[in-house]
Copies of this chain bind each other. A is one copy, B any other.
């Protein structure tokens, strides 16, 4: 297995910056790929040890390309997640002043985040879409456009300077990235973990989905994401990508997953991994009756009853 990490390229984007926040990234070769699909294929094919791709952002929701890749095909597993706040810098060639800017470029996904800023500060500017924010910066360097919206970190790479930083229309704009590899034993629980699964309903009847969610609820497990994705079997046929609080080695989570496995048509386990941005001591205590100690005590009690010793 190659000791490289594939990531959604090109270089100089938020994805790369997020990836570099992982300590293990420092010891791997980081290889940009042109698409989420190609990065994950590199993992499946053994060309890369893992792939780092966006999976959710606070403006668009779940990144469907990534979810659909995880839902289907050869199983993959999530090992890490990274949360990155997305704010833009306005990058220009040294010497350019705000009043000089007639054209501005960025990836279309940046637009919702800079629209208000543009209206206030550059109402008459012409917007030109680019293939990525990094590419927009390159085109500014080449003199094709006057300014680019990109991460501040891209300035140095393209010999540009930031006229303004921290541009963001939406407060709390964040993107969540995951490091995905081939299935292996999940990391030991950190104390503040999440577990990802995909479930397919066995049949469709009133209460069907409620009962599936009940497998988590009755064991005191909070849900952090519920994203439906089409199964390909025609309109109205969905599976559900679910992120739930906790680790598969927690007794409550193991029993909940068993419950899903029993009543779902299919369950795909996508991994248990530390929650980004949360220290173990912030994770809160389990709901009454759902701690590992209580599960163990209950199992012991049933064993004693089965044995007539009580």
- Could you tell me which A residues sit within 8 Å of B by CB distance? 56-62, 64, 75, 77, 83, 170-176, 183-186, 202, 204-211, 213-230, 232-238, 240, 248-249, 254-255, 257-259, 261-263, 267, 269, 287-290, 294-295, 297-299, 301-302, 305-310
Contacts and interface: CB of A to CB of B under 8 A. Distances in A.
A302 B236 contact: no
Given A254-B302, A310-B75, A221 B234 contact: no
A62 B64 CA distance: 10
B174 A235 contact: yes
Nearest to A215: B218
A185 B77 contact: no
Given A213-B210, A228-B226, A298-B261, A305 B61 contact: no
A218 to B, nearest CB: 6
Nearest to A252: B262
A172 B83 CA distance: 37
Contacts of A176: 235
Contact of A289 (B219, B234, B263): B263
Contacts of A215: 218
A298 B226 contact: no
20 contacts: A57-B235, A61-B230, A61-B238, A170-B232, A171-B234, A172-B234, A174-B234, A174-B235, A185-B307, A202-B289, A206-B220, A207-B214, A210-B210, A210-B217, A213-B213, A218-B259, A248-B302, A249-B306, A257-B298, A269-B305
Given A257-B302, A295-B262, A308 B186 contact: yes
Contacts of A202: 288-289
A305 to B, nearest CB: 4
A117 B236 CA distance: 25
For the complex of A and B, 3 pairs with smallest distance between CB atoms: A207-B217, A172-B234, A262-B289
B235 A222 contact: no
A61 B226 CA distance: 14
Contacts of A288: 202, 263
A249 B236 CA distance: 23
A289 B172 CA distance: 30
A183 B309 CA distance: 7
Contacts of A295: 258, 262
Nearest to A244: B206
Contacts of A234: 58, 171-174
A77 B308 contact: yes
A225 B214 CA distance: 18
Contact of A58 (B59, B230, B289): B230
B294 A230 contact: no
**Which of A176, A237, A288, A289 is packed against the most chain B CB atoms within 10 Å?**
A289
Nearest to A241: B228
A202 B58 CA distance: 19
